C-alpha cells in the first residue's frame, strides 16, 4: 500500500502525524488541572491561548504548504508560510515553556529543501533551533552552555530530517527527468520509425523508376521499332510483346506513385507520447487526422517544438491544464500550445524559446507568443511543410 503513495505525500503525512503527537502533552497539561492532578505531577505548565493559536497555526500552515509539495513552482506566499511555521513553532516553546517547539521545527525542516537553496536552508534551520535556547535557560533552568548544547542536539535531529527531505527532492527531480526523457525517447522512436519507413519507400521507388522503368522504356522502344521492321505473324507477336511492355511500364509507374504517396510521416503518432504521465498537468491533444509531413527533418523540428513547449509549461507556468492543437493550413503545419498558468504581461524568452525560434526560422517558420497575467501562455508555431514536389517534364515526355 505504501508503495502506491509518493514520497512527497509520505513526508506530508509524517509531518502532520508528528504535529498531532506533539499536541498530546500540550492537551494533557491543559486538562490535568481540571482532572485534579497536582502541580508537581505536571511535566509541562498549562499553555495559554496564544500558545494554542501558535500550535494550530503551525498545523494549518504545514498542511497548506505541503499540499502540492514538489508539484508546482515556488510562490511568494510559500516563503511567508515558511516564516509563519517557524514563528509558530517558536511561539509554542515560548508560551509553553518547553522544548516542544524544537520538535515542530524538526517538522518544518522537511520543507526547507523544497523552498530554499541548500546553504540558506541549512542556515535557517540552525538559526531557528538556536532561537529556542532562551526557553531552556529561563523556564527549564538550563545553564547557558547546556541550553546551547540542547539546541544543537535538536539541530542535529532537524539536520537529519532536512537531508532526508533533500534526498526526496532529488529523487522527485530525477523521476521527473526520467519521465520526460522517456516520453521524448518514445516520441523520437516513433518519428525515427516513420522516417526509416519513408526513406526506404523513397529508395525503393527510385530504384524501380531508375532501373526497371528505364529498361522497360528501352524495351518498349525496341519492340516498337521491331514492329515496323517485321510482317506477318512475327509482327503480330511483336505488337503483343510491345503491348505487354507498355502495360508493365504503366504498372511500374503506378507502384512508384503509390510508394511516394504513402511515404509520409504521421506527426500525430510522434506527438501523442509527449502527453503521457505528465505529473500535475492534464494535457489535451487535438491533432488533425491524418496529419502527415513528407520531410523527416521538418517533422523532427515540430516534435522538438512541442517538447520544448510542454517542458516550459511544466517548469515555469504553474499550470494545471495544457491544450495542444496541431492542424494543416495550406502548405503549413500549425502547432498551438496553450496553458492555464499564471501568464505574464511582459514575456522575456529564455534560451529554450530563443532556440526554438531560431530552429523554426532556419526552415522558414515562425513563432508567435501571446500571454497575459492570469490568462496563461500561448505559443503558435507555423512551419511550411510542402509536399514532395514532382519534377516538371516537357510536354509529351513521360518518366
More confident residue, 35 or 300: 300
pLDDT digits (tens, 9 = 90+) for 272-314: 888 877 777 788 889 888 888 877 788 888 888 888 888 888 8
Domains in the chain, number: 3
Same domain, 172 and 217: no
Same domain, 128 and 57: yes
Q: Report the share of the chain in percent with pLDDT over 90.
A: 27
Same domain, 274 and 353: yes
Average pLDDT over residues 66-92: 85
Residue spans of alpha helices (H) in the chain: 7-31, 49-65, 76-96, 100-108, 112-115, 118-130, 133-138, 144-207, 213-229, 232-261, 267-271, 296-312, 351-362
Same domain, 211 and 348: no
Residue 394: pLDDT over 60: no
Same domain, 162 and 14: yes
Q: Is 184 inside any structural domain?
A: no
Other residues' Cβ atoms within 10 Å of the Cβ of residue 30: 17
User: Distance (Å, rounded) from C-alpha 139 to C-alpha 135?
Assistant: 6
Contact between residue 118 and residue 170 where contact means Cβ atoms under 8 Å apart: no
pLDDT band at 84 (very low <50, low <70, confident <90, very high): very high
Least confident of 19-28, 212-221, 349-358, 384-393: 384-393
Q: Report the share of the chain in percent with pLDDT over 70.
A: 80
Burial class (CB in 10 A: 0-12, 13-18, 19+), 362: exposed
Of 111-115, 167-171, 180-184, give the range with the top mean pLDDT: 111-115
Least confident of 35-44, 93-102, 312-321, 349-358: 35-44
Same domain, 173 and 110: yes
Residue 393: pLDDT over 60: no
pLDDT band at 249 (very low <50, low <70, confident <90, very high): low
Q: Is 126 inside any structural domain?
A: yes
User: Distance (Å, rounded) from C-alpha 399 to C-alpha 395?
Assistant: 11
pLDDT (0 to 100) of residue 188: 77
The residue from 261, 282, 306 where one domain ends is 261
Same domain, 30 and 157: yes
Other residues' Cβ atoms within 10 Å of the Cβ of residue 201: 17
Same domain, 143 and 92: yes
Please tell me whether the peptide bond between 299 and the residue prior to it is cis, using omega within 30 degrees of 0: no
| DSSP code per residue over 191-230 | HHHHHHHHHHHHHHHHHIIIIIHHHHHHHHHHHHHHHHH-
Same domain, 220 and 274: no
Of 96-110, 224-238, 242-256, give the range with the top mean pLDDT: 96-110
Q: Is 246 inside any structural domain?
A: yes
Q: Nearest CA to 386 among 329, 311, 318?
A: 329
Same domain, 10 and 152: yes
The residue from 238, 261, 284 where one domain ends is 261
Same domain, 223 and 357: no
Least confident of 97-111, 149-163, 233-247, 308-322: 233-247
pLDDT digits (tens, 9 = 90+) for 46-57: 778 888 999 999
- CATH number of the domain bearing residue 282: 3.30.565.10
The domain in which residue 350 lies consists of: 265-384
The backbone region for 72, taken as left when phi is positive above 0, alpha when psi lies in -120 to 50, beta otherwise, is beta
Question: Would you call 329 helix, strand, or coil by DSSP?
Answer: strand
Contact between residue 322 and residue 283 where contact means Cβ atoms under 8 Å apart: yes
Task: Flag whether the pTM goes above 0.85.
Answer: no
Contact between residue 45 and residue 25 where contact means Cβ atoms under 8 Å apart: no
Q: Is 75 inside any structural domain?
A: yes
Amino acid at each position: 500500500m505504501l508503495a502506491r503513495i509518493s514520497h512527497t505525500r509520505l513526508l506530508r503525512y509524517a509531518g502532520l502525524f508528528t504535529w498531532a503527537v506533539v499536541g498530546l502533552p500540550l492537551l494533557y497539561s491543559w486538562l490535568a488541572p481540571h482532572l485534579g492532578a497536582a502541580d508537581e505531577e505536571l511535566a509541562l505548565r498549562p499553555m495559554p491561548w496564544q500558545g494554542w493559536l501558535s500550535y494550530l497555526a503551525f498545523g494549518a500552515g504545514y498542511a497548506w504548504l505541503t499540499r502540492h509539495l514538489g508539484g508546482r513552482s515556488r510562490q511568494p506566499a510559500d516563503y511567508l508560510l515558511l516564516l509563519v511555521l517557524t514563528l509558530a513553532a517558536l511561539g509554542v516553546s515560548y508560551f509553553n515553556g518547553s522544548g516542544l517547539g524544537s520538535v515542530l521545527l524538526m517538522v518544518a525542516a522537511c520543507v526547507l529543501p523544497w523552498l530554499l537553496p541548500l546553504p540558506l536552508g541549512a542556515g535557517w534551520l540552525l538559526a531557528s533551533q538556536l532561537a529556542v535556547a532562551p526557553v531552556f535557560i529561563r523556564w527549564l533552568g538550563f545553564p547557558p552552555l547546556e541550553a546551547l548544547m540542547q539546541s544543537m542536539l535538536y539541530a542535529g535531529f532537524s539536520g537529519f530530517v532536512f537531508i532526508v527531505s533533500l534526498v526526496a527532492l532529488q529523487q522527485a527531480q530525477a523521476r521527473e527527468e526520467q519521465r520526460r526523457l522517456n516520453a521524448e525517447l518514445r516520441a523520437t522512436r516513433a518519428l525515427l520509425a516513420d522516417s526509416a519507413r519513408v526513406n526506404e519507400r523513397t529508395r525503393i521507388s527510385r530504384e524501380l523508376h531508375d532501373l526497371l522503368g528505364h529498361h522497360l522504356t528501352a524495351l518498349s522502344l525496341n519492340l516498337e521499332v521491331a514492329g515496323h521492321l517485321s510482317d506477318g505473324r512475327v509482327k503480330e507477336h511483336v505488337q503483343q510483346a510491345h503491348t505487354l511492355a507498355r502495360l508493365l511500364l504503366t504498372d511500374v509507374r503506378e507502384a512508384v506513385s503509390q510508394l511516394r504517396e504513402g511515404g509520409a510521416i504521421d506527426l500525430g503518432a510522434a506527438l501523442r507520447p509527449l502527453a503521457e504521465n505528465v505529473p500535475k498537468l492534464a494535457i489535451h491533444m487535438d491533432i488533425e487526422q491524418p496529419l502527415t509531413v513528407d520531410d523527416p527533418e521538418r517533422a523532427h523540428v515540430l516534435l522538438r517544438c512541442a517538447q520544448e513547449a510542454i517542458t516550459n509549461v511544466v517548469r515555469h507556468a504553474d499550470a494545471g491544464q495544457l491544450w495542444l492543437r496541431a492542424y494543416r493550413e495550406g502548405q503549413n503545419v500549425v502547432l498551438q500550445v496553450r496553458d492555464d498558468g499564471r501568464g505574464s504581461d511582459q514575456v522575456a524568452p529564455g534560451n529554450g524559446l530563443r532556440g526554438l525560434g531560431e530552429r523554426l526560422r532556419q526552415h522558414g517558420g515562425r513563432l508567435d507568443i501571446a500571454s497575459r497575467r492570469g490568462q496563461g501562455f500561448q505559443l503558435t508555431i507555423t512551419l511550411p511543410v510542402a509536399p514532395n514536389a514532382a519534377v516538371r517534364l516537357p510536354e509529351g515526355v513521360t518518366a
